[in-house]
Structure 1
Amino acid sequence: MRVFPLVLALAGILVACSRPQVEPVTVADQQAAQLQAEVSRLVTYPKFGDFDPYDWGNRKPQSYPIHGIDASRWQSTIDWEKARKAGVSFAFFKATEGGDLADPRFAEHRRGAQAAGVPWGAYHYYYFCRSAEEQARWFIRNVPRGADLPHVLDMEWTPRSKTCTKRPSGAKVRSEARKFLAILQAHYDRRPIIYTTVDFYQDTGIGDIGGTEFWLRSVAGHPSEVYPGGRWTFWQYTGTGEVPGVDGEVDINVFRGSPEAWVRWRDRLGT
């Protein structure tokens, strides 16, 4: 029997119309899937202890889902796998101080965190007896590229130092901070965070520096109470924390945001 071309064409159209339409996978779809996969791996709202607990009332740091630690030579070998499983989602390590001191445990802590999959960044303890340029070069000399997190400029008064107790003006402090931040940003391709304390913040006006994020120490009150109007991304809420995998006391911090916000911020995925 002869089948006319028109009949064949119509049959083809019917077959095509009967096939399910598959929507193309977009970049946004891929990013959303990646985000949810990363969030599912997080241990949120960890129950860490404290050797000297504070009564936080209704403004508890435990109400934030993402917690992490910062460590230096004063922390012995850390079981990073145990710490990660307990809820340590990030870590900052002291790397350098001034222009000639390097923390002897920095490399050990960094390698351990990397092996366990704990995102890390490094911090520099600033001394006002050396220039910002000299200290930035010293940090770069000791901290390799490849950190998961932005690095940190730790600025606070140093009254117990045996070599440098200078207290420059707020204008000088802010000028030096901007120089240090710019040098590190150019080298590591990410703007550093500023860590500071209550008295230093009040004395110097360092919170007026724009274009950077802040990590604020406040062990006896929520940052909104202790730093009225202050901007912050991280809050160090105790220096006497108790974390599985860490021998003795350790600083504990929270990230200001949801698990989704943390992954976006950490991986620079945007909003």
Structure 2
Amino acid sequence: MKKRRITSRKPTSRKKNSFWKSKISHYILGGFCFLLLFGIGFHYRNGLLYYLGFKSDKILESKESKRISDVRNYSVLSTYDDKVVGIDVSQYQGKIDWKSVRLVENNFPIRFAFIRATVGKDKVDCEFETNWKSSKATLIRGAYHYYRPNENSLEQANNFIKNVKLRKGDLPPVLDIEAMPKNQPIDSLKAGLKRWLEKVDAHYQVKPIIYTNEKFYEAFLKEDFSNYQFWIANYNFFVETLQDDWLIWQFTEKATVSGIDGNVDVNIYNGSPKMLQYLTLN
């Protein structure tokens, strides 16, 4: 006689527990995402309202809807409405109607402009002469040089000096350094930068400003060039604080400016309009 095989059922409690744990984790994750989005929306509420039309008469068409960066632009500019707003331009902005260059995001007054003058040892920005002359009537102007790390520093300084005639009321010259050298150590780059700065300082009798991005500044320039003032670029969406050691903060490269087609870099000077006047050449 065959014995009946007795099979025992495995308990289903583990399956049920894992099912409910999975369900709960999904709810928690969903709740976290909702709170995160709600927090971001609340933080940028003024910018969102502005661009949805509650603070403006402009009608937004879907094909011309503002980017999320525009909301941040409005938020940052609103936070620092006691500071001074400026732009920087080059030939890449094309022909600029300087008489119309008045506002950023149709709301915030522009008071200064930095204009690219030269690049490396021999290039002159093809729009520099026009931009330099035309901006003088409406804004405090300044000129900058884009530094090529693999070219002779004194030749680059001479290129800038030859093409830029600074006058009373202009901003100090600016050295724009963003690229790493290809065939030289970082110490050689620093030596070249110092030669450029000293040559330009001696010519104009004013200490230049250094422009760079925040990472380059922290890694290579902050300690060795501590006696210079810095203009720092940081476009990070979640960065909204103007640091004390930044003379100027370039917080976006995607702003809308009256009189200019396409995107424009926008900057906040870390001071009042009166302090900006003190910065200019006497």
TM, length-normalised to structure 1: 0.69
Offset at 1:203?
3.5
Quick one: structure 1 residues 174 and 111, their matched pair in 2 at CA, closer, same or farther if it must change by over 3 Å? same
Q: Which amino acid aligns with 1:189?
A: Q
- 1:141-195 per-residue CA deviation (whole Å, 9 max, x = no partner) reads 111232610010000116xxxxxx5174443232222211111111112111000
Q: Aligned partners of 1:149 and 1:82: how far apart in 2? A: 21
Quick one: structure 1 residues 265 and 205, their matched pair in 2 at CA, closer, same or farther if it must change by over 3 Å? closer
Secondary structure of residue in 1 paired with 2:69: coil
Aligned to 1:81: 99
Aligned to 1:112: 134
- 1:189-214 per-residue CA deviation (whole Å, 9 max, x = no partner) reads 21110000133224423453132210
- 1:8-39 per-residue CA deviation (whole Å, 9 max, x = no partner) reads xxxxxxxxxxxxxxxxxxxxxxxxxxxxxxxx
Aligned to 1:150: 172
Number of residue equivalences: 210
**2:117–2:163 contact (8 Å) kept in structure 1:** yes
The one of 105, 123, 131 aligned to 1:101: 123
Q: Aligned partners of 1:136 and 1:122: how far apart in 2? A: 13
Q: Which amino acid aligns with 1:111?
A: K
Is 1:193 matched with 2:204?
A: no
- 1:114-159 per-residue CA deviation (whole Å, 9 max, x = no partner) reads 1x3311111111111112111101111111232610010000116x
The one of 213, 234, 239 aligned to 2:229: 213
User: How large is the Cα RMSD of the aligned pairs?
Assistant: 2.8
Q: Aligned partners of 1:202 and 1:150: how far apart in 2? A: 23
Aligned to 2:261: 247
Q: Which amino acid aligns with 2:210?
A: I
The one of 67, 76, 79 aligned to 1:60: 76
Offset at 1:58?
12
Offset at 1:237?
0.8
Q: Aligned partners of 1:67 and 1:177: how far apart in 2? A: 28
Offset at 1:92?
0.6
Secondary structure of residue in 1 paired with 2:111: strand
Offset at 1:223?
5.7
Quick one: structure 1 residues 168 and 188, their matched pair in 2 at CA, closer, same or farther if it must change by over 3 Å? same
Q: Aligned partners of 2:206 and 2:131: how far apart in 1? A: 21
The one of 223, 238, 243 aligned to 2:252: 238
Q: Aligned partners of 1:136 and 1:126: how far apart in 2? A: 9
**2:172–2:281 contact (8 Å) kept in structure 1:** no
Q: Aligned partners of 2:280 and 2:67: how far apart in 1? A: 29
Aligned to 2:144: 123
- 1:234-256 per-residue CA deviation (whole Å, 9 max, x = no partner) reads 11011111011111111110100
Offset at 1:56?
4.9
**2:97–2:260 contact (8 Å) kept in structure 1:** yes
Structure 1: segments with no counterpart, 5+ residues: 1-46, 159-164
**2:254–2:264 contact (8 Å) kept in structure 1:** yes
Percent of residue pairs bearing the same amino acid type: 33
Higher relative contact order (CA 8 A, sep 6+): 1
Aligned to 1:265: 279
Aligned to 1:31: none
**1:171–1:204 contact (8 Å) kept in structure 2:** no
Q: Return 170-179 or 55-64, whichever deviates more.
A: 55-64
Aligned to 1:179: 195
Q: Aligned partners of 2:87 and 2:73: how far apart in 1? A: 22
Q: Which amino acid aligns with 1:113?
A: S
Secondary structure of residue in 2 paired with 1:122: strand
Q: Aligned partners of 1:167 and 1:236: how far apart in 2? A: 29
**1:170–1:205 contact (8 Å) kept in structure 2:** no
